Amino acid sequence: MKPTDIAAPDYFHKVVDCQWACPAHTPVPEYIRLIAQGRYSDAYMINWKSNVFPGILGRTCDRPCEPACRRGRVEETPVAICRLKRVAADFKDDITQRLPRPSAKNGKRVAFVGGGPASLTVARDLAPLGYHCTVFDGDPQAGGMMRSQIPKFRLPNSVIDEETGYILNLGVDFKGGHRIESMKALLAEKYDAIFVGSGAPRGRELDIPGRKEAAANVHIGIDWLSSVSFGHTDKIGKRVIVLGGGNTAMDCCRTARRLGGEEVKVVVRSGFEEMKASPWEKEDALHEDIPILNFLVPVAFVHDDGKLTGITFQKVKAEYDAKGRRNLVPSGEPDQTIECDDVLVAVGQENAFPWIEQDCGIEFDKWHMPKVDPKTFVSTNPKVFFGGDASFGPKNIIWAVAQGHDAALSIHRMLSGEDITERPLPEVHVSSQKMGIHEWSYDNDISNDKRFKVPHRDKVIALKDIRTEVELGYDVKLALGEAERCLNCDVETVFSTSLCIECDACVDICPMDCITFTENGEEADLRQRLKAPSPRPDQDLYVSSDLKTGRVMVKDEDVCLHCGLCAERCPTGAWDMQKYFIEMTYAGSACPTKSRSAA
Amino acid sequence: MTYIAKPKFHHPGLKKNELGYTHRDYEGKISTLCAGCGHDSITASIIEACYELSIEPHRVAKISGIGCSSKTPDYFLGNSHGFNTVHGRMPSVLTGANLANRDLIYLGVSGDGDSASIGFGQFAHSIRRGVNMTYIVENNGVYGLTKGQFSATADRGSKSKKGATNTDNAIDLVAIALQLGATFVARSFSGDKSQLVPLIAAAIGHKGASFIDVISPCIAFNNHAGSTKSFDYVREHNDAVNRLDVLVGRDPIAVDYAPGTVQMVEQHDGSKIALRKIDADYDPHDRLGAQTFLQKHAAKGQIVTGLLYVDPDAEDLHEHLNTVETPLNTLEADTLCPGSAMLDKFNASLR
C-alpha cells in the first residue's frame, strides 16, 4: 500500500466515526470533552454552530452518530452522544451574548417557504451576513414538523421556542399563518433567492376497503399529531390501532396512550427488527405497555354501518430471494381481525407541491419531486433552492440542518456573484496534545463504565399529561460518567517514520493490538497479516513509508482507543497524539478565518 | 513512566488459547521501565509464548534478582507466583524452589549485571546442576539503573554514551552456559520477536537447564553509535543460524518445509521444535562445534543468534539426585518422618 496521506482532510475525519456519520459533521468528541469539564455553554455553542438545534436534537435526533461510535465496537453500547447534547442544552448559561448580532442589511432579500429546521438553518446562516430573510409558514409559530409532529412529552414547546427564537432574533422576519399558495406569486415579489423548506407534509393514505366508510375514526398519523399539538384534538377511543412501523407510528401510539387510549397496539407489516423506528423509540413504546404486532398486513377496515369496529389483517412471513432481498408472502394462516375504536395511519409521508406551478422554471422528475442538485440544492430555476424533506423526501432533522447549511452557502455564493458549484474546502486544524512527558491535554484514561441510562419520569405520572416530558435527561454526575466513556477519537495517533527506531514498544503496549510492523503489501494481503483480525474494510489502515528495516508500520484504525499509550511508550516521539478539528464550510466562511475554538 | 493503567478493553477478535485465555490475560502490571526499553519486548515475548503454550498462570514461578531486567516479572503473568530476590541470588532461590516443588514451571529472569557480575557464581552453579528452568538474561551491556556504566557483558572496544571506550573483556554468557553443560542454549534479540517467542516456548518445553541470552538495547544509555548492543548494531551484525517453530500437540500446523532444510527436535513435554536451518552447516546438537562457531563469529564481530545447542535427552537436577516424583512440599509428615523404627532400619543398613 502507498503511505497514508494524513494531510487529506477526510483521512482523520473518517477516524472520528461519529462526526463522519453525522450529516452536519458536528465535532462530537470536542463537545463531549467540554461537557466533562463542565463547560456546558461552550459545548452548546459548538453544537449550535454545527447543528443549530442542540436542545431539540438532543431529544429527537435519529442519531446516525451512535451506530457509528467506536465505543460500540469496543464494548456493547456506543456513547449516548444524543443525550449528552441535551446535557449541554440543559445546563448551559445564558448564551444570548455569544450569538451573532443582526447585522446591517446588505439589501438582498431571501424568502423561505416553510419555517422548519431546513429553512431556519438557512436563515441562521444568512441573516448574520446581512440578508433580509422572510420566512413564511402556514402555522402560527416557527419550527415546522418539530413543533407540529413531535409530541410535547418528547420535545417541550419551551425548547422549540428557545431555539427557534435564537434564529428569529437575528432579524429574521417570520410570517406565521401565511401559507404560500403560489410559487408564481412568490417569484413575482422579486426576491433575490427563494428557499423551499416546506417538508414532506402529506401522510400516506391506506386505500383498502372500508377506508371511506369508516373515515370518521381513521386518522392520518401526522395530521392527527399536528392537531393534537395545536390542541385541536384531545381525546381518542379506548382501543386504538396504529398502523406503521416508523417513528411517527411510535409517536402516534404513545400520544394515543395519553389521550384516553387504554388498549393501544402498533401493527406492522414487517418483522420487529426491520421496523423503521429507532430501537429506542420502540423501547419507549413497549415500556408504555404498547404491544407491537408484526407480520400483519391490513386488508380491510371493518365497520358497522360506517362505525369502525376493527381491522382485518393478513398474516405474512418474510422470505428472502437469491439476492437476499426480503419479500413478505402470505403465511397461509387465516386472517385476523383486531377490534378497535380508532385507527392512526402512519405508513409514510410524501412530498406535495400543488402550489408550484408548472411554468415557474422548476422541473420535476417522474416521482413528482423537484430536480435538485444534491450538492448545491439549487433547482432548475437558479434562484430557487430546496432543502430538508422538500428536496429528497422524508429524512430527519439533522439532514435538514446539513442540507440547510449547504443551501445557505449556495445562496450566499450566488448572491455574491460566485460560482455555486465551487465549494470552499473545510478548514482543518491538527495540533499536538502533548503537555508533558506523559501528560496530554485530554483525559486518556479509558473509562470501563457501561452506558448510563437516562432517567425517565415515573410511567404513571408520564402517561397522565401529554405535555409532561418523559425523559428527565442526565444529571451532572451521570453526564460526567457518560462523557468519560467517549474515546476521544478526534485525538489522532500520528506517526513519523523518520523518528521510528522499530523498538516495538508501541506494538507491545497497544491494548487493542492495532499496530503491526511488517512487510508492505496490497491492502487485502496486509489485512491478513496484522496482529489482530481486521474484519472491517471500511476502517482504514494507516500505513507508513518504508522504515529502516524495509518494513512498514500498519495501524488498523478500527478499534483504536486513542489512549495514547503508543505515544507514551515511544522513546523517540515517533508517535504523537494530535487533535484533529475540522471547520465545515458555511456561508460566509469562504476564506479561512482564525476562529477561536476550545482547546 | 505511564501513569494510567493499560485499558482492560481488548480487540474483539482476539483469539483464545486452549484454556480460553487471550494473550492479554497473561499480562501483568503496566511497565515502569523507560519508554522503548528492549526488556518490554522480552516481556511481550514471554506473554506470547505462555499464551501460545496455553500455560496455566498458576503453574508458573517467575523469579528474578535486582535490576531493570529483574523488575520485568511484575509486567507479565500477573496471576503467577513470583519472587524478587536479593541481587544476583535468583539462581539459588530458584534452585531451592525447584527442589521443593518440581511441578511448577520455573522462569528465571535476570540481567547482565545480575548474572554476569554479582550473581556470576550463582548463574554458573544453577546451570552446572541442570536445574529444570528457563533462565533468561535480558542483556543490555550497561548498568541502566546507575546511568550507563559498562557491564560485564559490554564488548571490549565498545563506547559508552559519554564516549568512554571499554577496555575490559566481555563475558559471553552463552559461551559460559555451553561450557557449564546447559542443555538448551540460545541467543536472541528483543527486536526480533519472530525468533524470540518460539525460543522461549521451546525453552519452557525443555527439561533441564535452558538458557537464553537476549540482547535488549537500553534506549536511555546504550543505543548510540559505538555501542554493540544498540538496535542498529544488532540488526546489522545479527547472524541467525536457524529459525524455529514450536509445534504443540493440539495444533497440527501444516508446516510446509522444503526437504532437508528442517530438523525436528522432540521435547520431553511432547512438543516438537521444527528447526529451519539458515546456516546449513550448523549442527545444534554439537556442543563443541557450537563453542567454536560462536568464538569464530564473535571474532568477526558477528552476533550469533538462534537455537545454538539442545540436548533433547537431557536430565535435570531431580534425576541427578534421584528425588521422588511427588513434589517435596506436598509430602506428608509421616512420609517425611517415618518414625524411629524406620530410622533404626536405615541406620542398620549403613553399619
Q: Model confidence over B251-264: pLDDT tens digits?
A: 544 455 565 678 88
Residue A251, helix vs strand vs coil? helix
Nearest CA to CA, how far is A516 from chain B (Å)?
Answer: 12
Percent of all residues in chain A with a pLDDT value above 90, rounded to a whole number: 90
What does each C-alpha distance from B241 to A13, B86, B186, B238, B283 come to in angstroms?
47, 36, 10, 10, 9
User: Does position A591 have pLDDT exceeding 70, yes or no?
Assistant: no
**Looking at beta carbons, which residues of chain A come within 8 Å of B4?**
444-446, 563, 565
Residue A589 pLDDT: 74
Nearest by CB: B41 against A73, A508, A572: A508
B36, A570: Cβ pair inside 8 Å?
A: yes
**Alpha-carbon gap: B260 to the closest alpha carbon of chain A (Å):** 27
pLDDT of residue A596: 47
Q: Are strands B209-215 and B238-240 parallel, antiparallel or unpaired?
A: unpaired
Cβ–Cβ below 8 Å for B235 and A445: no
Closest CA in chain B for residue A562? B7
Over residues B204-230, the mean pLDDT reads 96
Give CA separation, A107 vs A110, A129, A130, A136, A408, in Å.
10, 11, 8, 19, 16
A113-144 b/e (C-beta count within 10 Å ≥ 16 → b):
bbbbbbbbbbbbbbbbbebbbbbbbbbebbbb
Mean per-residue pLDDT for B345-349? 94
Residues in a beta bridge with A243: A267, A345
Residue B100 is predicted with a pLDDT of: 96
C-alpha cell at A575: 508517535
What mean pLDDT comes out for the span A524-530?
94
Q: Looking at residue A128, what DSSP letter applies?
A: G
Taking 70 as the threshold, does the pLDDT of residue A597 lie above it?
A: no
pLDDT score, position B256: 55
| Mutation for testing the B interface, residue in A74, A77, A503, A547 having most B CBs under 10 Å | A503
Interfacial residues of A (vs B; Cβ cutoff 8 Å): 73-75, 438, 444-446, 448, 501-505, 507-509, 511-514, 532-533, 535, 548-549, 559, 561, 563, 565, 568-572
pLDDT at A46 over 90: yes
Residue B105 predicted with pLDDT over 80: yes
pTM: 0.91
Cβ neighbours of residue A334 under 8 Å, at least 6 residues apart? A315
The Cβ of residue B299 has, within 10 Å, a number of other Cβ atoms equal to 8
Q: Which residues of A touch B6 (CB under 8 A)?
A: 509, 511, 565
Mean pLDDT to the nearest integer, A248-262: 95
Residues of chain A contacting B37 with CB distance shorter than 8 Å = 503, 505, 571
Are A511 and B6 an interchain contact pair (Cβ–Cβ within 8 Å)? Answer: yes
At A51-103, the pLDDT tens digits run 999 999 999 999 999 999 999 999 999 999 999 999 999 999 999 999 998 88
* Average pLDDT estimate for A501-508: 95
Query: Has residue B249 got a pLDDT over 80?
Result: no
CA distance B315 to chain A (A): 35
CA distance B42 to chain A (A): 10
Phi/psi region, residue A210 (left: phi>0; alpha: psi -120 to 50; beta: rest), is: left
pLDDT greater than 60 at residue A590: no
For every residue of A281-300, DSSP letters joined together read HHHHHHHTT--EE-SEEEEE
| CB-CB under 8 Å, A571 with B11 | no
Q: Do A571 and B5 touch (CB under 8 A)?
A: no
Predicted local distance difference test score (pLDDT) of residue B84: 97
Closest CA–CA distance from residue B328 to any residue of chain A (Å): 38
What value does the mean pLDDT take over residues B5-30? 95
Which residue out of B1, B2, B47 would a mutagenesis test of the A interface target, given it has the greatest number of A Cβ atoms within 10 Å? Answer: B2
Nearest-Cα distance to chain B for A239, in Å, is 47
Angle between helical axes of A117-126 and A397-415 (0-180°, round to 10): 40
Chain A CB contacts of B195 under 8 Å are none
Q: Does B92 touch chain A (CB under 8 A)?
A: no
| Mean pLDDT, range A347-355, rounded to an integer | 91
pLDDT at A594 over 50: no
Tell me which residues of chain B, numbers 7 to 66, contact chain A at a CB-CB cutoff of 8 Å.
Answer: 7-14, 24, 30-31, 34-38, 40-41, 43-44
Mean of pLDDT values over B277-301: 91
Best of B1, B4, B30, B42 to mutate (most A CBs within 10 Å, chain A): B4
Residues 6+ apart with CB under 8 A from A156: A467, A469
Average pLDDT over residues B124-143: 97
**What pLDDT score does A147 carry?**
95
Give the number of other CB atoms < 10 A from CB of residue A472: 11
Task: Provide the 8-state DSSP code for A174.
Answer: E
pLDDT value of position B250 = 53
**Cα–Cα distances in angstroms (integers) from residue A434 to residues A439, A501, A567, A578, in the given order:** 6, 20, 9, 8
Q: Given this model, what pLDDT does residue A592 score?
A: 46
Q: Smallest CA–CA separation between B30 and chain A, in Å? A: 8
Q: Is the per-residue pLDDT at B301 higher than 80? A: yes
Interface size, chain A vs chain B, as Cβ–Cβ contacts under 8 Å: 98
- Res. A579: pLDDT tops 90: yes
- Say what the pLDDT of residue A356 is: 95
The confidence score (pLDDT) of residue B281 equals 84
B92 min Cα distance to partner chain A (Å): 31
Burial class from Cβ neighbours inside 10 Å (0-12, 13-18, 19+) for residue A327 reads exposed
The yes-or-no verdict on residue A564 having pLDDT over 70 is yes
- The answer to whether the CB of B114 falls within 8 A of the CB of B65 is yes
